[in-house]
Amino acid sequence: MENKSRNAGTLVGGAILIGLGLLALASEFFGLHGWGALWPFVIIGIGGVFLAGMASGGRDTAPLAIPGTIVTGVGVMLFLQNLTGHFESWAYGWTVIVFLVGLGIYLMGAQSGDPGTRRGGAGTMRTGLVLFIIFGAFFEGLIFRSFGISDYIFPAALILFGLYLVFKRSGLVSSRKEGRPASTDISEEK
């Protein structure tokens, strides 16, 4: 057991040194001197430590995938926001955290060999993606007005989606699967 922890410590230490070296090289290559633009890499590195610990520890450390994906993903988001100056994207950027939790659960299931956990993680990732699209379109299209054509597309998409929901609920849009009727009313089955 002691040998396994020593290997994990060496791996984590090596990952930190590699991260710091890459950070220094990036600052030289891209002319980004100082920590003003590169500080999010510290957060990405901390998340990487969790992921490295998960990868090196086997089944027992599989839960480290969840904080690893969250911290790494938030670090990447902060880096992108720092580069673009678009910090108001946190209005909907929080939905990425839902996706990252799902990714962590999926990786945990893959590391532990549990297909049920992987399915749960995939479902959470889908939820996060849908939330990101909905909130991102709302905030970027209506509030921040980042897209020039969004003045027409987003309201039209809202109308079309609303019509779909209304028609589906009223029964005008069929929800038949493999020959079954759209309604499941008990009186119709008799």
State residue 100's pLDDT score. Answer: 96
Side chain identity at residue 53, one-letter code: G
Handedness of CA 116, 121, 124, 125 (dihedral sign): negative
State residue 98's pLDDT score. Answer: 96
Contacts of 93 (CB under 8 A, 6+ apart): 77, 81
What distance in Å separates the CA atoms of residue 51 and residue 138, rounded to the nearest whole number? 33
Angle at Cα 141 formed by Cα 162 and Cα 75, nearest 5°? 115
Task: Give the ranges where 85-114 is alpha helix by DSSP (H).
Answer: 90-112
Q: Which residue, among 110, 8, 5, 20, has the nearest Cα to 59 in the 3D structure? A: 110
| Side-chain-facing half-sphere of 51: CA atoms under 13 Å | 20
Could you tell me the residue ranges of all domains in the chain? 1-81
Which tokens in the block code for residue 32? Answer: 């980004």
Q: What are phi and psi of 57, to 5 degrees?
A: -95, -10
Count CB neighbours of 141 within 10 A. Answer: 19
What distance in Å separates the CA atoms of residue 53 and residue 11, rounded to the nearest whole number? 8
State residue 33's pLDDT score. Answer: 61
State residue 146's pLDDT score. Answer: 65
Q: Please report, in tens digits, the pLDDT of each residue of the chain (190 residues total).
A: 456 556 666 776 777 778 778 777 777 776 666 666 678 888 998 999 899 989 988 888 999 999 999 999 999 999 888 888 888 889 999 999 999 999 999 999 999 999 999 999 999 999 998 888 888 878 877 777 665 555 666 667 777 777 877 887 776 655 555 454 555 444 444 4
- Residue 65, CA distances (Å) to 23, 96, 99, 131, 172 in order: 23, 16, 13, 22, 45
